[in-house]
């Protein structure tokens, strides 16, 4: 399924708004034909994470349990807001690490893995083929 088909399917289910919580714009292309630019909202997602406890030590190497999410806020300059509950039609673009800490239907990440064929110019990421759930 191409990105444009995905967008059309999402639009059929009602209005959709992306809120980009990354510090940079996200540029999406579909077969090099359509560029969609989603600018940064200026807000960032700040997490309060507690490191997991040591599960076991193997040959002197500690293996930790999964980290625990203790809280999350939207931050813009000195303004801090609680992360709202999921709302129909509102999707947040976040980092992979942040998305891993949540089990929320309203968070997506940028498809940047090599097998997802992002567009790179001179070794720098320029645009991606879409967004994905984690």
pTM listed for this prediction? 0.72
pLDDT at 130: 78
Contact (CB, 8 A) for 77 and 61: no
Q: Which helix (H) or strand (E) holds 90?
A: strand 90-93
pLDDT at 104: 85
Question: Which pairing describes strands 119-121 and 124-127: parallel, antiparallel, or unpaired?
Answer: antiparallel
CA 131 to the chain's CA centroid:
8
Query: d(Cα 77, Cα 60) in Å, to the nearest integer?
Result: 42
Q: What does the DSSP 8-state code read for residue 23?
A: S
pLDDT at 72: 86
Structure tokens at 88: 């129909």
Contact (CB, 8 A) for 68 and 49: yes
Query: d(Cα 64, Cα 88) in Å, to the nearest integer?
Result: 36
Could you read off the pLDDT tens digit of each residue along the chain, which spans 134 residues? 455 555 555 455 556 789 999 988 888 887 666 678 889 999 999 888 778 788 889 999 988 877 777 788 899 999 999 888 899 889 999 988 888 888 788 999 888 766 667 676 777 767 777 788 88
């Amino acid at each position: 399924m191409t990105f444009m088909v995905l967008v059309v399917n999402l639009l059929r289910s009602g209005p959709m708004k992306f809120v980009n919580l990354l510090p940079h714009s996200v540029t999406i292309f579909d077969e090099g034909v359509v560029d969609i630019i989603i600018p940064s909202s200026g807000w960032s997602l700040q997490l309060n994470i507690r490191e997991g406890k040591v599960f076991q030590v193997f040959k002197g190497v500690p293996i930790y349990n999964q980290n625990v999410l203790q809280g999350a806020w939207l931050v813009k300059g000195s303004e801090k807001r609680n992360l709202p509950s999921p709302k129909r039609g509102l999707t947040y673009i976040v980092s992979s690490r942040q998305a891993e800490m949540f089990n929320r239907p309203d968070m997506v990440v940028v498809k940047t893995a090599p097998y997802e064929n992002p567009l790179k110019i001179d070794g720098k990421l320029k645009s991606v083929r879409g967004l994905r759930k984690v």
